[in-house]
A and B are shown apart, each in its own frame.
Chain A
Amino acid sequence: MKSDKILLANKANLLLAFSVLGALLILPFFIESFYASLLSMAYIYIIAAIGVNILTGYTGLVTVGHGGFFAIGAYTSALMGQYLGTSLLPGLFAGGITAGIVGFLLGFIFLRLAGAFLAIGTLGFAFAIGSIINNWPVFEGREGITLAPNNIFGFEFGDVGFYYVCLITGALIFLFAWSIIRSAIGRAFMAVRDSERASEASGINLRLYKTLSFAISAAFTGVAGVLFAHHTNYVSSETFADIWISVDFLVAVVVGGQASLAGSVLGGAFVVLLPYYLSELRDFASILKGVVLILVLLFAPAGLASIFQKFFQKTVFRVFPVKLDER
């Protein structure tokens, strides 16, 4: 009986995921291209938030420095475009891989750190990347690098085309993250989070899984960075030297829900769309962001995803009686 219910719950989740994806696929036919561009930005933050969530939510290693990997991804693609003439697709792979390698190295350096110490260490990393971009002549500092118009295999496309690129990349990353979490690797991550000693005693290689988690999460954030660079077709230290990008990712994870991929989707959309709708009042947006953040922490510590889950349990699953928490 119980396994039947789990299957049904999984089917319900799957159905939800596919209907959301389907709705987003046909959305550009009904909105102006400007909103497609805004939503692309939301997808970019969602991808980055999924990356941060793997490290912070699932492995329990809090990072305040993923803006650094975001910048590494963006600049990898920008420099490749400038010196090798490559376009979006090679950039996506190269940016993700470069960020992943740097993430692996950083994870190795910070292997012995935990909690607040790791948070401060990663914050320093973001700051250093910003400072390097600002000062190293290759990166052109505040002058910035302009990228060629977006194209894949020579076909140029505009905002709507880019919307689909972001949506598909986001869906693939979501799927990839989902399958990692459901695998032995994901279970090892969560075991490390719940108790380092117990997981080590069960034969989990702490060094391997911590650095692996760092690498995967950095690679995802790097991919988001590449998309970010191609979103405006321009990178400069003006945006990337700012460590508050890193903080925004962490906010997305905490507001959406730690260790919840659906939470990352909600959180990523939250940090992009809220400031946009209040962009006339930039300072007010900052105040509101702080207030919402504190309210979520006070009243829904498990994040927005938990509110939605409760809502679904009360509505949809009342009709299809499935208990999600029996898993």
Chain B
Amino acid sequence: MLAQLIMSGIATGSLYALTSVAIVLIFRNTRTINLAQGDFSMIGAFMGLVFLKTLHLPFIIAFVATIFAVVLLAVLVERLVMRKIRDADWLTLFTATLGVFYILHGMAGWIWGRDTKAFPNPFSVQPISIGGALISKASLFNILIVAGIGLSLFLFFRYTKAGIAMRAITDDPETARLMGIPVQFIVMLTWAVGGLLAAVAGILLAPIIYVSPQMMDTVLIKGYVGAIFGGLYSIPGAILGSLLIGVIENIAGGYLGAQYKVTIAFVMIVLILAFRPRGLMGGQARREV
């Protein structure tokens, strides 16, 4: 029972990780708590539905097309809204993403309606056994995809010029600018990576939680909890936090009842924040915030 709960907890936690890593990435480079992150995924899920069901594209092509669409959306948000207020205090930045949240929610409800829609699962849900615990092939694929993304992000930040520039901006935007790093472009790239992660999260979550304008609302909160683990700063911390919350809420749901999942998420936030105000793995001192 416990091994089973842990296993499926890791499966859901890995999907939360996509959201929380994007939250951390965008926050540490732009000081923006992105409330629209969940909506990027939601729009992605709807786009995926359009590509798969209306246009009857094969899954891989639909997947790539969705990623392009959401990345474009994220870049547009950066260009049209966030760039204009980039020097404002963080509450202004936060409320601006809230404005984007309202717009995207409203547009999705307007175009596609508010009722939930099923999403075709590309992978078989046939369970396979790993060390005594059963896990569906779909969940296994999800974990593998997320792990692959984590690895590519690691390589991106370690070896590519853009990745290193992104880390430089995280550490000190002013010095980075003086060193000739195109801060403006890198910030746009950050939002693009956020959009990419959101698209993947949207498509992978859609078969599990169904597609609706409010599908990502609770996932977003759990993404924040994961991000808090890393002090809104550390990507490994955010991934670990997301896996932990997936596992813990699953265990709590298994033993106490499914309705306590959200309560557990809150208890975790309070415990972490009350004792480690900068998160469990976020030791770095930051000048803002």
Judge: A and B partners, yes or no. yes
Contacts of B69 in A (CB 8 A): none
Q: Does B232 contact A (CB under 8 A)?
A: yes
B216 to chain A, nearest CB (A): 13
Q: Does A113 contact B (CB under 8 A)?
A: yes
Contacts of A117 in B (CB 8 A): 228, 232, 273, 277-279, 289
User: With the chains together, A258 CA to B95 CA distance in Å?
Assistant: 12
Name the CB-closest residue of B to A112. B277
Q: Does A240 contact B (CB under 8 A)?
A: no
Q: Does A298 contact B (CB under 8 A)?
A: yes
Report, nearest first, the 9 A-B pairs whose CB atoms are least far apart. A286-B106, A290-B102, A290-B103, A128-B266, A287-B106, A293-B99, A283-B109, A124-B269, A294-B99
Contact indicator B274/A293 (Cβ below 8 Å): no
Question: Quick one: given A247-B98, A287-B107, are A123 and B270 in contact (CB under 8 Å)?
Answer: no
Q: Does B263 contact A (CB under 8 A)?
A: yes
Where the two chains meet, the residues of B that have a C-beta atom closer than 8 Å to any C-beta of A are 27, 33, 81, 84-85, 88, 90-92, 94-96, 98-107, 109-110, 114, 217, 221, 224-225, 227-228, 232, 259-260, 262-263, 265-267, 269-270, 273-274, 277-279, 288-289
Q: When the two chains form the complex, which single residue of A120, A243, A297 contacts B269, counting CB atoms closer than 8 Å?
A: A120
Q: When the two chains form the complex, which single residue of A121, A127, A284 contacts B110, counting CB atoms closer than 8 Å?
A: A284
Interface of B is mostly: helix
User: With the chains together, A62 CA to B31 CA distance in Å?
Assistant: 15
Contact indicator B105/A286 (Cβ below 8 Å): yes
Contacts of A254 in B (CB 8 A): 91-92, 95
Contacts of A132 in B (CB 8 A): 263
User: With the chains together, A114 CA to B278 CA distance in Å?
Assistant: 10
User: With the chains together, A277 CA to B102 CA distance in Å?
Assistant: 17
Where the two chains meet, the residues of A that have a C-beta atom closer than 8 Å to any C-beta of B are 56, 62, 109-110, 112-117, 119-121, 123-125, 127-128, 130-132, 134-135, 243, 247, 250-251, 254, 258, 282-291, 293-294, 297-298, 301
What are 7 A-B contacts with C-beta separation under 8 Å? A109-B274, A124-B266, A124-B269, A258-B91, A283-B114, A290-B98, A293-B96
B33, B228, B260 interface centre (most CB from chain A within 10 Å): B33
Contact indicator B225/A301 (Cβ below 8 Å): no
Contact indicator A116/B289 (Cβ below 8 Å): yes
Name the CB-closest residue of A to B228. A120
Contact indicator A290/B100 (Cβ below 8 Å): yes
User: With the chains together, A31 CA to B88 CA distance in Å?
Assistant: 42
Contacts of B104 in A (CB 8 A): 290
User: With the chains together, A298 CA to B86 CA distance in Å?
Assistant: 11
User: With the chains together, A289 CA to B96 CA distance in Å?
Assistant: 11
